[in-house]
Amino acid sequence: MERFRGIGEARQDMGLAALRRSAAGLAAELRDALSAHGLTVQVIAEPPMSGRAYVSILEPLMEEEVRVIADALREYRGSGRNSLSVGVAEANARSRRYLDFAEQAEQGGCAECRRLKERFSAAVRGDDAEAAEGWRLMLGRHLREQH
């Protein structure tokens, strides 16, 4: 039993060391970010508590410093995690194009779709399988690129 207790304590020490390194890194990151905005604020790593890393700002902040931090956080919220990533924005654009296409499909499609479908149908009626395949491929390409 004594042997297993030592292993757990070693793991806990490794976990505490990692949390201390994390807190030191976070403190440096926050200090650098504040410095990039022209603020010289003392930020230090705190001892880990409840399995989490903590940092502290050790000095009172002046009004200008608080405004810079508040503005930066507002800007981050507007362009950071809550904003759409490029991939999501592209997917939304594709969905909007699809919805536009769905409306057009109810009306017989866009002019280019109608033209390609007519040529495809004419090729099928004329038993020209090669031409029909070409028109089918062109229609598929048009649908992917435009709708």
Q: What is the pTM of this model?
A: 0.42
60-79 pLDDT per residue, tens = 888 888 888 888 777 766 55
More confident: 147 or 27: 27
Task: Check residue 97 and give its pLDDT.
Answer: 66
Q: Give per-residue pLDDT as tens, 82-103.
A: 455 666 667 767 666 666 656 6
CA distance 141 to 147: 10
Q: How far is CA 47 from CA 14, 20, 42, in A?
A: 14, 7, 16
**Amino acid in the structure at residue 88:** V
In whole angstroms, give the CA distance from residue 132 to residue 117.
10
- 9-13, 31-35, 49-53: which has the minimum mean pLDDT? 9-13
Nearest residue to 146 via CA among 107, 109, 120, 108 = 109
| Proportion of the chain above pLDDT 70, given as a percent | 69
pLDDT value at position 134? Answer: 92
pLDDT at 59 exceeding the cut of 70: yes
